[in-house]
Amino acid sequence: MVQISELMIRHPEATSFADLERLVVEAARAGEIHLYFDIKPEYPDTPRKWEARLELAFYNAERVDK
């Protein structure tokens, strides 16, 4: 299981929601099978439906261009 907070702590270079989305895709490709939304990312570009966006990125990781 990967937590949103864990990704953000491990990757302080991530400064936008798009960066976080890429990290979520990488975690899924690395074999993580669960994504846990423990905090809301407070990036200026975080969309309203951020959970749905990250969930789609996680579950469709293999379909996203590498």
Residue-wise pLDDT for 14-47, tens only, equals 999 999 999 999 999 999 999 999 999 999 999 9
Mean per-residue pLDDT, 7-16: 97
Distance between CA 33 and CA 14 in Å, rounded?
22
42 half-sphere exposure, CB direction, 13 A CA radius: 2
Q: Is the pLDDT of residue 64 over 70?
A: no
Mean per-residue pLDDT, 58-64: 82
Q: Is the pLDDT of residue 66 over 70?
A: no
Three-state SS at 36 = strand
DSSP 64: S
Whole-structure pTM value: 0.89
pLDDT of residue 55: 96
Give CA angle at 58 (38, 53), nearest 5°. Answer: 75
- Ordered by start, the domain boundaries in the chain are 2-63
DSSP 25: H
Bridge partners of residue 3, in order along the sequence: 36
